[in-house]
Amino acid sequence: MPLRPTILAVALLCAVATARAADAPATTHTVGAIEVSPIVQVNSLTTRASSYTLTNRTGCPVREQMRVVKWTGTASDGARIETDTADVQIRPAIVTIPDQGQQIARVIHVAPPGASEEQYRVHFDPIVAPGDTCQGAAPATAGKISAMVTLVQHIDVPLFYRGADMTAHVTATWQGTKVVLRNDGTATAKIWSIGVGKQVWNKQANYVLPGQSGTFETGHPAPAQVTLVMGDTKPVTTVLPIH
């Protein structure tokens, strides 16, 4: 069952860092945006079909290409490890959305239900042809969509298939000024913030997949215990001892 939709607005005309939806809200400039909803989708293992809604508020027609990849872990430098997959498909794969229009993209879970959580990322990429023009573009672009090529933001959002009884189980150890979070549970752990008490040391949302560990900088030596804010859409505060 998909969680309550949350809208992510990604600026098209402001040079912000690449937006990683559901990892952290994007910093936006209110000129225009593509909105993707929901930004976190958690389905049951037996869900066969779900959807995303794309809304175009850019002032111009927009083409988007969408694809699904298998999310298998995180590299030592923090980059996600992703592989191509045919287990989940998104249709249509390419859409054209008129200004102020919407498009429904349907997600089909092709693979038979498994016994463990499945993790995917859904990528949304703009397709901009050189020379495309739109009078609705802001003056900063001189009316040319092609001026947005390096500014239009890539969006990717997490997609999970999970059993109702699957949960994360996180433990913490310390290495210098870094905390190592180990997830020995059966569901992916979403970490919104890391700190001690009400003091937040790391407020970048992170994920730790089942059976894996994540290492996060805090800038502080080991405390007696660490405070985590965790959860998909309803974060809760958890205090863990340092082992």
Work out the pLDDT band at 180, boundaries 50, 70, 90.
Answer: very high
Can you give the pLDDT at residue 136? Answer: 52
Under DSSP, the state recorded for 197 is T
Which residue did the predictor score with more confidence, 235 or 2? 235
Domains defined along the chain, listed by start: 8-161 (2.60.40.10), 170-241 (2.60.40)
Placement of tokens 């045919």 in the chain: 86
CA dist., res. 211 & res. 216, Å (int): 17
Q: What is the DSSP string of 78-138?
A: SPEEEEE-SSEEEESSEEEE-TT-EEEEEEEE-SPP-SS-EEEEEEEEEE--TT-B-TTS-
C-alpha of 17 from chain center: 14
CA dist., res. 4 & res. 44, Å (int): 14
Average pLDDT over residues 184-198: 95
Closest Cα partner for 117 from 195, 182, 179, 183? 183
CA dist., res. 73 & res. 22, Å (int): 16
Work out the pLDDT band at 12, boundaries 50, 70, 90.
Answer: very low
Q: What is the Cβ-side half-sphere exposure of residue 199, based on CA atoms within 13 angstroms?
A: 8
Which residue did the predictor score with more confidence, 203 or 91? 91
In the predicted model, is pLDDT for residue 149 greater than 50? no
CA dist., res. 50 & res. 48, Å (int): 7
How far apart are the two ends of the chain, measured CA to CA in Å? 36
Q: pLDDT by residue (tens digit) across 55-111?
A: 998 888 889 999 999 999 988 788 899 999 999 999 999 999 999 999 999 999 999
Closest Cα partner for 202 from 217, 214, 187? 217
Mean pLDDT, the chain, integer: 81
Which residue did the predictor score with more confidence, 198 or 147? 198
Is pTM beyond 0.85? Reply is no
Nearest-10 Cα torsion for 178, 182, 187, 190: -10
Work out the pLDDT band at 227, boundaries 50, 70, 90.
Answer: very high
Task: Please provide the size of the chain in residues.
Answer: 243
Of 5-14, 21-30, 122-131, 201-210, give the range with the top mean pLDDT: 201-210
In the predicted model, is pLDDT for residue 152 greater than 70? no
